[in-house]
Amino acid sequence: MAEIVAGFGVPHTPVFPSVVKRNGPDCEEALLFAEVRQNLEAVKADALILISNDHFNTFFYDNFPLFAVGVAPETRGPNDATVMPQYRLPVDEQLAENLRAGLITRYFDMAVTQEFELDHSFMVPWHFLNAELRIPIVPIFVHAFSDPLPPADRAWALGEAIAEVIEEMPGEQRIAIMGSGSFSLEIGGPLADPGERAGTPDKDWAAHIKSRLENCEIDELIEDATCERLQRAGNAAGELLNWLVMLGAIGQREPISFKPQVSHGHAFGIWRWD
């Protein structure tokens, strides 16, 4: 049967490509991504399920599903103003279709998009982690950027259902899964730092999530992560849901590496059990 072989969590801060280009391969952000990339390469995954949220670049309010999967032979990005190269990305179309069908039978009303591009939320991880490896991806979109958000336990359950679908697939495909986003972040709103476009309004919440994840206190984290609590952490704090989908897929495990940048409201996490 197919199997999930590792889980990863990373931020997708759009300025990171230009920060690393300016500061070089020994800067903090470059080293943190390098550690994740080394572990992704080490598990020899045949496909990477990449879970993130769109920032009104691929979807908009006229058609904005809670959960969607991209099913196509390839895609491209970024489709926003992020400073990085334009990429064409291979998509594991068969795995994407298997997930769509299997999740629907498990009562997740997955939307499907067959003509889509990806914004920085998918492309920053691709740029740092997979541009050279070129592991085929399956993009799963979570509505994590505007209210109403999916409940935290629903995001976790989606991850569990993803794992069930993969376990029932024939063959020996090795699949890694990655969630991408911030825990506390305000973009262009009243909680941003004075005079700045963005900021981290709730560093205590980011530190709290760090403690929960390091100690594998997932049930408690799900209970903590109400929509109201996420709103207080910033208008992009719902990106925690992307991590919860990943965590639901890998189960109750402690990370082998968890490197927070609490002042930025995010972290880099690695879960392996090989």
Answer yes or no: is pLDDT of 114 > 90: yes
pLDDT value, residue 214: 94
Answer yes or no: is pLDDT of 82 > 90: no
Longest dimension (CA), the chain: 54
pLDDT value, residue 192: 83
Q: How far is 245 from 119, CA to CA, in rounded Å? A: 19
User: How many degrees, rounded to 5, is the angle at CA 119 between CA 117 and CA 123?
Assistant: 100
Three-state DSSP state, 211: helix
Q: Which domains does the chain have, with CATH numbers?
A: 3-272 (3.40.830.10)
pTM, two decimals, is: 0.96
Residue 211: pLDDT band (50, 70, 90) is: very high
Answer yes or no: is pLDDT of 147 > 90: no
Residue 83: pLDDT band (50, 70, 90) is: confident
Average pLDDT, the chain: 95
Name which of 130, 163, 126, 158 is nearest 142 in CA terms: 158
Highest mean pLDDT: which range of 78-87, 104-113, 188-197: 104-113
Bridging pattern class, strands 47-52 and 137-142? parallel
Q: Are 157 and 142 contacting, i.e. CB atoms less than 8 angstroms apart?
A: no
Question: In Å, how far from its chain's centre is CA 147?
Answer: 18
Name which of 195, 167, 70 is nearest 122 in CA terms: 70
ω before 17 within 30° of 0 (cis)? Answer: no
Give the least confident one: 10-14, 43-47, 56-60.
Answer: 56-60
